[in-house]
Amino acid sequence: MGRGWPSGRVRGIPAELRPYTAASANHIRFQKHATRNRIRAQSIWLVYTALGRHPISCQSGTSDLSVLKNFMATQTNTTNLKTPLQNLEEWEDFLKERYPEVPEKTGAFNPGKKKEEFRNYEATARPTVREFYRLNHRYQTFDFVQSKKREFLSLDRRKMGIWEAMEFLNTLVDDSDPDTDFSQLEHLLQTAEQIRKDRHPRWFILTGLIHDLGKILCLFGEPQWAVVGDTFPVGCAWSEQIVFHGFFADNPDSREPRYQTRLGVYEEGRGLDQVQISWGHDEYLYQVVKDYLPEEARYMVRYHSFYPAHREGAYTYLMNDGDKAMFKWVRAFNPYDLYTKSHERPNVSELRPFYEELIAEYFPAQLRW
Ligand code: FE
Ligand code: FE
């Protein structure tokens, strides 16, 4: 085993690490991508042994120190942070299984999926994906959303331009295979390029370029289930159209009667702006960019993971007429998000000048993150 490993016998591997590890009497190691995982295993083990419990960082995988810092920082306001997914794409791959590509891009909306259909997807989901949804549905409570908003929406962590944020997001290291998987920056460029090829307006192209920048939450130490995942309203009954609905039984809000009626703490048709949605990269980025984009683009950013609404047609009773009109655009955006990944690798340096100009058309040189 390499230098710096905790000495002494390995007394057992936390259940959460088992899918990634192999162990003999004295050693623990990760199965794949040896160097990167050695660092991660070391970090995790260090914190685990120091605190006597299992630490969870998102997959920033940088150094022992940063993982430790992230872990300590999150301990005060979240409960049990984990990285069930090997990489964030596992969630997106699961979305693609649930929503296979349709021939013409406008046919993406297929409301009213049957209960059995959901059960089929749930039954065939990978264990990592299942665990991810279990945590997401368990911990995304009404209070959790408020606390994350207080924590992040002061936007005082960094000042960065859009391209700089793209490069920052690209430092997210996970178990993706660099030879076959696209990087975060490539996903953004591919999405934007496909929108551009279909001759959509410039703001639409720009939205494709930026839509996932909120995933930098991972680099601030946030757990996967508080960054990605299908989003849903909190503070009212969970729609049956949310995948893995059964996992909500463990959410403390299930024992709050005021959150368990159809409308919960909201009023019929008052509009989504009044509604608290589960916390993740959509809402965070929306708050960063909302002053600079047209309304259609703001909806795309803010609700692109709100699959229960934009793909299943749920929660229309919380929407006002403006929301209903704008969801047309959220639906128009979704195929570009889901189905552009298989195309060829974009040439970043060739594309950069076009996109720098487009960014400058809408955004100041620096934004608060
Ligand atoms: Fe996204
Ligand atoms: Fe995306």
Q: What's the gap in Å between 64 CA and the centre of ligand 2?
A: 29
> Can you say how many angstroms the Cα of residue 361 is from the centroid of all Cα atoms in its chain?
27
Residue from 284, 275, 250 nearest 133 by CA: 250
How many structural domains compose the chain? Answer: 2
- Identify whether residues 273 and 311 lie together within a single domain: yes
Q: Which residues contact 48 (CB under 8 A, 6 or more apart)?
A: 14, 54, 55
- CA distance linking residue 225 with residue 250, whole number of Å: 15
Distance CA 138, CA 74 (A): 17
Q: Quote the CA–CA distance of 233 and 272 in Å, as a whole number.
A: 9
> Alpha-carbon distance 281 to 209, whole Å?
14
| Distance (Å) from CA 21 to ligand 2 centroid | 29
Same domain, residue pair 236 and 157? yes
C-alpha 88 to ligand 1 mean position (Å): 10
Instruction: Please report, for residues 2, 191, 228, 235, the alpha-carbon distance to residue 278 in angstroms, rounded to integers and kept in the order given.
Output: 41, 24, 10, 10
Model pLDDT for residues 299-317, shown as the tens digit of each residue:
999 999 999 999 999 999 9
Distance 262 CA to ligand 2 centre (A): 30
**Domain assignment of residue 9, yes or no:** no
Give the distance from CA 217 to its chain's centroid.
Answer: 9
Q: What is the pLDDT of residue 344?
A: 79
Structure confidence at residue 57 (pLDDT): 36
pLDDT reported for residue 34: 44
Amino acid occupying residue 137? H
Same domain, 46 and 68: yes
Q: Which long-range contacts (CB under 8 A, 24 or more apart) does 189-195 make?
A: 189/346, 189/348, 189/351, 189/355, 190/340, 190/341, 190/343, 190/346, 191/336, 191/337, 191/340, 192/355, 193/340, 193/346, 193/351, 194/336, 194/340, 194/343, 195/336
d(CA 197, CA 351): 13
Query: Are 61 and 137 in a shared domain?
Result: no
Partners of residue 21 on adjacent β-strands = 30
Tell me which ligand sits closest to the C-alpha of residue 285. Answer: 1
- pLDDT at position 40, please? 57
Residue 93 sits in the same domain as residue 71: no
For residues 142-151, give the mean pLDDT. Answer: 98
Average pLDDT over residues 341-350: 83
Distance 89 CA to ligand 2 centre (A): 9
Same domain, 68 and 95: no
The mean pLDDT of 257-282, rounded to a whole number, is 98
| Ligand 1 center from residue 259 Cα (angstroms) | 27
CA 368 vs CA 40, 197, 246, 297: distances in Å: 30, 31, 38, 19
**Measured in angstroms, how far is the CA atom of residue 283 from the centroid of ligand 2?**
14
Ligand positioned closest to the Cα atom of 184: 2
| Domain annotation covers residue 1 | no
Residue 159 three-state SS: strand
pLDDT digits (tens, 9 = 90+) for 79-128: 345 688 888 888 988 998 888 876 554 444 555 667 777 788 899 999 99
Are residues 107 and 20 located together in one domain of the fold?
no
DSSP state for residue 233 in the 8-state scheme: B
* Centroid of ligand 1 to alpha carbon of 227 (angstroms): 9
Three-point CA angle 255, 261, 264, nearest 5°: 95
Q: What is the DSSP letter of 154?
A: T
Cα separation, 259 vs 356, whole angstroms: 45
82 located within any domain = no
> What is the band of 135 on the pLDDT scale with cuts at 50, 70, 90?
very high
Same domain, 151 and 249: yes
Q: 21 and 125 share a domain?
A: no
User: What Rg do the C-alpha atoms of the chain give, in angstroms?
Assistant: 21
| Shared domain check, 158 and 304 | yes
Lowest model confidence (mean pLDDT) among 157-171, 175-189, 258-272: 175-189
Please provide the DSSP assignment of 199-232 as one string.
T--HHHHHHHHHTTGGGGGGGGT--GGGTSS---
Find the length of the chain.
369
Task: Determine how many CB atoms are found less than 10 A away from the CB of residue 109.
Answer: 16
Is 279 within the bounds of a domain? yes
Q: Domain residues for 105?
A: 89-368
At 192, is the pLDDT very low, low, confident or very high (cuts 50, 70, 90)?
very high
Higher pLDDT, residue 291 or 76: 291
